[in-house]
Amino acid sequence: MRALIEEPDSGRFRISQEGLPVVDEQLSFISGNSTSFNVFDDHIYVSGLPHTDNNELFNYRIDFDHFKITQSAGSDSQGYQETLIINPIDSLYLESS
């Protein structure tokens, strides 16, 4: 897993796990009218990311302390269900470079 987040006038930080390759060609820019980003002091909330076949939407909550990513999937009409939690027991670390 890798996440690179860059802010203006600052360096990047990386979340990585050694030995897992990232295929840059498979990364894509997030765009779309239904996608929204909300940044708070303790987390980021991304909502409305469509699945490639457009049959459901994904929402992500990225908590900073302890670092955790929670994914939920569903639709506005059917509701959402948590489908994935990354780092539920605080075992990942942040790597600064």
Does the pLDDT at position 40 exceed 90? yes
Number of domains in the chain: 1
Q: Specify if 80 maps to a domain.
A: yes
Does 24 map to a domain? no
Q: Torsion angle of alpha carbons 31, 76, 38, 64, nearest 10°?
A: -110
Prediction pTM value: 0.65
CA dist 97 → 16, 67, 94 (Å):
11, 18, 10
Does some domain include residue 25? no
Cα gap 42→18, rounded to integer Å: 26
Band (13; pLDDT cuts 50, 70, 90): very low
What is the span of the domain harbouring residue 39? Answer: 2-19+34-96
Residue 26 maps to a domain: no
